[in-house]
Chains A and B, each alone.
Chain A
């Protein structure tokens, strides 16, 4: 029955994506061009990487509000390690990824060892990590990165934007991990009933810590790509990204209460949001108008999917 429910939501969403693409194609002949689609892929990558791992977080019944701040903090760490401490850029990138993973690990420790609800723990680290970014940077930005670094965010490999390869790889890995591994099944078990999962002998705490660390890593990876794409580092990078990522995940049918959701759904959610943003701006609607529409689509999709649910339950 669970499978049936999942298919239902994702079918609705897939239909919605197709309708949206069709309508947007009719609105503008520039929409379905390779250039435009690749460009949209670039814009989607940062929030996409975060949303993919956020799917795991939300499936366990948790939430990670600190990802946007981790983006800001790791971007600053990258810039400071490279520019102010004079480390080689590849090493600075590795250190930034390590700092992001550690930040996520700290979230995991606070949530599992101290039993702090994820919403509060990451609300605290949202302020803390952003604060560290602001404190270190003192509102100075870092510029002047070497040319080769821009390959990541602005270049292409085999004709496809570099970061889309990364996004595709992470998407594939997370889809397989969630659907086909014992680790993924543990993730669902925690979200459905954490106490039962614990009594079944599953490594609940270890799994949760690993998921939050992965979330931090994804945010750091997004930060590196972000810096490469815009050629600069600022402490306010990634502000509000957590809400965009959560919107994509929830739109993708993952239950905010945990235990239900798929990576495919999240990808559809991401595509729908990005297509709406792009298509409407091509059709001349201002970006703020698009934000309104995304909010309405979020509420309506969940409402419709809920109605189907109740029918299914009867």
Chain B
């Protein structure tokens, strides 16, 4: 047996060149990065204002919360699970955070509370999945109903106004860069390195690849799944921290389709829905790509009503290209 190789995706061709191995292990990330570069080149040729600082800020900072939530989602999907309730969870957490801020709690408590509450709620989901032996799609479908219905029946969908200015974390800048961008970059890199280099992180890939083998190798699979869901809930809480603080109001409803946007970012970023492969760098790049596409359409004068069709089309093309690549590698 060869020494274990530290790449996130297993590489069965150690004799190939370094470049070939990187392409093989991070193919999807490279494809998305190339797509982003191509998009920026093409759109800025048509309309140079696309590359303006303001626009770049809107694209990246305005959608950083999706990338942050997609980090946790990627971990959940890598272990072979899924969470369709994350959009509802973020809606609930944003409402809690806003109400805390308005009621006069110190802003740092309003920022931090969603992280812990998110971890607790997702921990319950994880426990039902791991110890109740329920399929995660069923549990989170149920959680989606509970959170969504609970939120609207408690708040009536009212907006939270009069948020204290100090609460607006996402509007602040550190060293000239908007706070959400710091969060997104730092969390993506930390999560990537953690998942690649620690025993805990690597056990997520092992569980997703083959739960029985992981169990035989001594990994406490049930406990890991609960912990993964808790980490995912904490990431949803951090996403809330920048989502709830970017506007002057918080709408106490569930952002429509948010869970699908987050899952899509993970999956297009190269996280296999079957579990076991993918990185959070891919999911963050995919979140940026989607945001850039939305903005690019405005700059090239395509009706915004076609946005979703374009994104759907791109999802299918990316997936088909990825499948073709995998099938070819499989045959080699």
Other-chain residue from B128, B267, B303, B320 in contact with A138 (beta carbon distance below 8 A): B303
- Tell me the bound Cα distance from A303 to B131 in angstroms: 10
- Give the chain A neighbours of B312 by CB distance below 8 A: 124-131
Other-chain residue from A110, A119, A129, A132 in contact with B273 (beta carbon distance below 8 A): A119
- Tell me the bound Cα distance from A293 to B153 in angstroms: 12
- Tell me the bound Cα distance from A121 to B264 in angstroms: 11
- Tell me the bound Cα distance from A292 to B312 in angstroms: 30
- Tell me the bound Cα distance from A48 to B145 in angstroms: 18
Is B134 part of the binding interface, using a Cβ–Cβ cutoff of 8 Å? yes
Evaluate whether A256 and B135 lie within 8 angstroms (CB atoms) in the complex, with A123-B263, A138-B305 already known: yes
Is B307 part of the binding interface, using a Cβ–Cβ cutoff of 8 Å? yes
Is B160 part of the binding interface, using a Cβ–Cβ cutoff of 8 Å? no
Is A286 part of the binding interface, using a Cβ–Cβ cutoff of 8 Å? yes
Contact B145 A294 (CB under 8 A): yes
- Give the chain B neighbours of A125 by CB distance below 8 A: 312, 316
Is A11 part of the binding interface, using a Cβ–Cβ cutoff of 8 Å? no
User: What's the nearest-Cβ distance from chain A to residue B149, in Å?
Assistant: 3
Is A27 part of the binding interface, using a Cβ–Cβ cutoff of 8 Å? no
- The contact string, 1 if C-beta is below 8 Å from chain B, for chain A 56-90, is 00000001000000000000000000000000000
Contact B305 A243 (CB under 8 A): no
Is A180 part of the binding interface, using a Cβ–Cβ cutoff of 8 Å? no
- Tell me the bound Cα distance from A125 to B153 in angstroms: 32
- Tell me the bound Cα distance from A119 to B141 in angstroms: 14
Is B150 part of the binding interface, using a Cβ–Cβ cutoff of 8 Å? yes
Is A134 part of the binding interface, using a Cβ–Cβ cutoff of 8 Å? yes
Interface of A is mostly: helix
For chain A, residues 255 to 276, give those with C-beta under 8 angstroms from any C-beta of chain B: 256-257
- Tell me the bound Cα distance from A33 to B219 in angstroms: 57
Is A168 part of the binding interface, using a Cβ–Cβ cutoff of 8 Å? no
Is B230 part of the binding interface, using a Cβ–Cβ cutoff of 8 Å? no
Contact A116 B319 (CB under 8 A): yes
User: What's the nearest-Cβ distance from chain A to residue B32, in Å?
Assistant: 15
Contact B149 A295 (CB under 8 A): yes
- Give the chain A neighbours of B133 by CB distance below 8 A: 306
- Tell me the bound Cα distance from A139 to B264 in angstroms: 24
- Tell me the bound Cα distance from A120 to B314 in angstroms: 12
- Give the chain A neighbours of B319 by CB distance below 8 A: 116, 120-121, 124
- The contact string, 1 if C-beta is below 8 Å from chain A, for chain B 203-228, is 00000000000000000000000000
- Tell me the bound Cα distance from A114 to B148 in angstroms: 35
Of chain B, the residue at the smallest CB distance from A296 is B146
- Give the chain B neighbours of A137 by CB distance below 8 A: 305
Category for how many chain A residues contact B: 35 or more
Contact A116 B320 (CB under 8 A): yes
- The contact string, 1 if C-beta is below 8 Å from chain B, for chain A 85-120, is 000000000000000000000000010001111011
Contact A299 B305 (CB under 8 A): no
- Tell me the bound Cα distance from A132 to B309 in angstroms: 5
User: What's the nearest-Cβ distance from chain A to residue B141, in Å?
Assistant: 6
- Give the chain B neighbours of A114 by CB distance below 8 A: 320, 323-324
Is A215 part of the binding interface, using a Cβ–Cβ cutoff of 8 Å? no
Category for how many chain B residues contact A: 35 or more
- Give the chain A neighbours of B138 by CB distance below 8 A: 250, 256, 298-299, 302
Other-chain residue from B135, B264, B327 in contact with A127 (beta carbon distance below 8 A): B264
Of chain B, the residue at the smallest CB distance from A138 is B305
- Tell me the bound Cα distance from A246 to B273 in angstroms: 18
Other-chain residue from A286, A298, A303 in contact with B153 (beta carbon distance below 8 A): A286
- Give the chain B neighbours of A123 by CB distance below 8 A: 260, 263-264, 267, 315
Evaluate whether A128 and B309 lie within 8 angstroms (CB atoms) in the complex, with A123-B263, A286-B153, A288-B153 already known: yes
- The contact string, 1 if C-beta is below 8 Å from chain A, for chain B 17-40, is 000000000000000000000000
Evaluate whether A289 and B153 lie within 8 angstroms (CB atoms) in the complex, with A116-B320, A126-B312, A138-B303 already known: yes
Is B84 part of the binding interface, using a Cβ–Cβ cutoff of 8 Å? yes
User: What's the nearest-Cβ distance from chain A to residue B25, in Å?
Assistant: 21
Contact A124 B316 (CB under 8 A): yes
Contact A131 B307 (CB under 8 A): yes
Residue among B82, B141, B315 with max Cβ neighbours from chain A (10 Å): B141
Evaluate whether A295 and B144 lie within 8 angstroms (CB atoms) in the complex, with A117-B274, A127-B308, A138-B305 already known: yes
- The contact string, 1 if C-beta is below 8 Å from chain A, for chain B 284-319, is 000000000000000000010111111111011001
Is B132 part of the binding interface, using a Cβ–Cβ cutoff of 8 Å? yes
- The contact string, 1 if C-beta is below 8 Å from chain B, for chain A 124-152, is 11111111101101110000000000000
Contact B146 A131 (CB under 8 A): no
Is B142 part of the binding interface, using a Cβ–Cβ cutoff of 8 Å? yes
Is B139 part of the binding interface, using a Cβ–Cβ cutoff of 8 Å? yes
Contact B303 A246 (CB under 8 A): no
For chain B, residues 254 to 299, give those with C-beta under 8 angstroms from any C-beta of chain A: 256, 260, 263-264, 267, 273-274
Is B121 part of the binding interface, using a Cβ–Cβ cutoff of 8 Å? no
For chain A, residues 269 to 314, give those with C-beta under 8 angstroms from any C-beta of chain B: 286, 288-296, 298-299, 302-303, 306
- Tell me the bound Cα distance from A302 to B137 in angstroms: 12
Contact A289 B149 (CB under 8 A): yes
Of chain B, the residue at the smallest CB distance from A298 is B142
- Give the chain A neighbours of B137 by CB distance below 8 A: 63, 246, 256
Q: Could you name 5 residue pairs across A and B whose Cβ atoms are closer than 8 Å?
A: A115-B327, A243-B144, A257-B135, A288-B153, A295-B146
The chain A residues found within 8 Å of chain B, CB to CB, are 63, 110, 114-117, 119-121, 123-132, 134-135, 137-139, 239, 243, 246-247, 250, 256-257, 286, 288-296, 298-299, 302-303, 306
Additional 20 contacts, C-beta under 8 A, given A131-B306, A303-B128: A116-B320, A120-B273, A123-B263, A124-B319, A128-B308, A128-B312, A129-B312, A131-B311, A135-B305, A137-B305, A139-B305, A246-B137, A247-B142, A256-B135, A288-B150, A292-B149, A295-B149, A298-B142, A299-B134, A299-B138
Closest 3 CB pairs of A and B: A131-B309, A128-B312, A295-B145
